[in-house]
Amino acid sequence: MQQRGRQTFVFEKPPAILSWASVVGKKEGEGPLADAFDIILEDDQAGQSTWEKAESTMQMMTIERALQKADLQPDDLNLISGGDLLNQCIGTSFAMREQRIPFLGLYGACSTMAEGLIVSGMAISGGAVDKAAAITSSHFASAERQYRFPLVYGGQRTPTAQWTATASGCVLLSSSGTGPFLQAATIGTITDWGITDANNMGAAMAPAAYETIRLHLEQMNLTPEDYDLIVTGDLGHLGRSVVQDLFARDGVHLGNRYDDCGTMLFDREKQDVHAGASGCGCSAAVLCAHLLPQMKANKLRRLLFCGTGALLSPLTTQQGESVPCICHAVSITTEGAGSWNI
């Protein structure tokens, strides 16, 4: 790998994306991407006795499907990196207990898929491993009771609130393959512009997205036009417009080249999700169900996938703290090493 500025680097040996899979809940399976998911649960409890076990089960289904699509066994993987939103990342740890794949646990909130691609990508590109995966998940019911209220309480949601997606995504990477490829990455710093409303994650995370995208373009010496799509996940409708505004102040108009995974998963008019979708599983499932298939079909050739995470906990909100946020950007292209002169 080769450094480009303080926090950006290029994968000189670009890890190839071998396969991907997504598993989502019933509501997500009724949205605009319905036809794109690998598995839509009939019952969000996935046959389990608790929501947390359901979330782990979704991850197990996702990795199994991704392995199947690449014609691989769990033993073929040298590494899986991932995490989730639950306390002590139990959604992932308990799923990985069954799989016995060498595991590096991550906590990046909704930036986890991007973070996992970076960690597993670095391991492959540097030669430490040959095949590695990145995985994450979120579950509406397990997240609601942990972060907000028990579902039976029937709490009213604010207009800026996002809906935690019941979704899991997994990407398999390899040292060789036909692509798409991980081309470069920018590791974010924590950004906190003082938002204290835990029901307005879009506004809290938007500055982190803005800073990382700006830095990525600067350190790579690129303009937004060099990408077919710059996608954040998951800022929702409000956060997306904040990112657009912040760039517009710099005289940069992102236009149709920019979108957010949190605005793609649900139908805003019909599905009553207020500011859009969120949760680690949202950007992961949108990547695996919607974006990577478009790349494989050559409809999308250069993607900047920017995972955004709000690193708060209910306790920090109770203690009056603002929300520290992060964004990691991963450049994914259909071209291999050196073919795109970056």
Closest CA to 143 of 161, 160, 159, 170: 161
Our finding on whether 64 is near a second copy (CB under 8 A) is no
**According to the binding rule CB under 8 A, does residue 199 interact with a second copy?**
no
Based on the shown chain and the rule CB under 8 A, indicate whether residue 206 belongs to the binding site for a second copy: no
The yes or no reply on residue 218 touching a second copy (CB under 8 A) is no
Asked if residues 16 and 176 have their Cβ atoms less than 8 Å apart, the reply is yes
> Which of 224, 293, 324, 336 touches a second copy (CB under 8 A)?
324
Sign of CA pseudo-dihedral 229, 234, 238, 243: negative
Q: For residues 155 and 314, which CB has a smaller minimum distance to a second copy in the complex?
A: 314
Interface pick for a second copy out of 126, 150, 155, 255 (rule CB under 8 A): 126
CB of 276 to a second copy, least distance (A): 21
* CA separation for the pair 138, 284 (Å, rounded): 10
Work out whether 260 is an interface residue with a second copy (CB under 8 A).
Answer: no
The reply to whether 45 sits near a second copy by the rule CB under 8 A is: no
15 lines the binding site for a second copy (CB under 8 A): no
Q: Of the candidates 115, 130, 113, which has an alpha carbon nearest to the alpha carbon of residue 174? A: 130
Cβ atoms of 50 and 192 closer than 8 Å: no
The reply to whether 32 sits near a second copy by the rule CB under 8 A is no
Q: Which is nearer to a second copy, 52 or 234 (CB)?
A: 52
> Which of 83, 177, 262, 307 lies at the binding interface for a second copy (CB under 8 A)?
83
CA distance 54 to 49: 8
Name the minimum Å distance from CB 268 to a second copy.
28
- Say how far apart CA 25 and CA 127 lie, in whole Å: 37
Q: DSSP string spanning 210-271?
A: HHHHHHHHHHHT--GGG-SEEEEES-HHHHHHHHHHHHHHTT---GGGEEEGGGTSS-TTTS
Spell out a b/e string for 207-235, using b for 16 or more CB atoms within 10 Å of the CB, else e: bbbbbbbebbbebbebebebbbbbbbbbb
81: β partners: 104, 134
Residue 139 sits in the site that holds a second copy (CB under 8 A):
no
Q: How many residues does the chain have?
A: 342
Q: How far is the CB of 314 from a second copy (least distance, A)?
A: 8
In the complex with a second copy, which residue's Cβ is closer, 271 or 316? Answer: 316
Among positions 118, 288, 292, 330, the unique one binding a second copy when judged by CB under 8 A: 118
Q: Which is nearer to a second copy, 31 or 281 (CB)?
A: 281
Amino acid at 66: A
List residues binding a second copy (CB under 8 A): 1-3, 6-7, 9, 12, 49-50, 52-53, 75, 78-79, 83, 85-90, 93-94, 96-97, 100-109, 115, 118-119, 122-123, 125-130, 185, 187-190, 192, 309, 311-316, 319, 321, 324, 326, 328
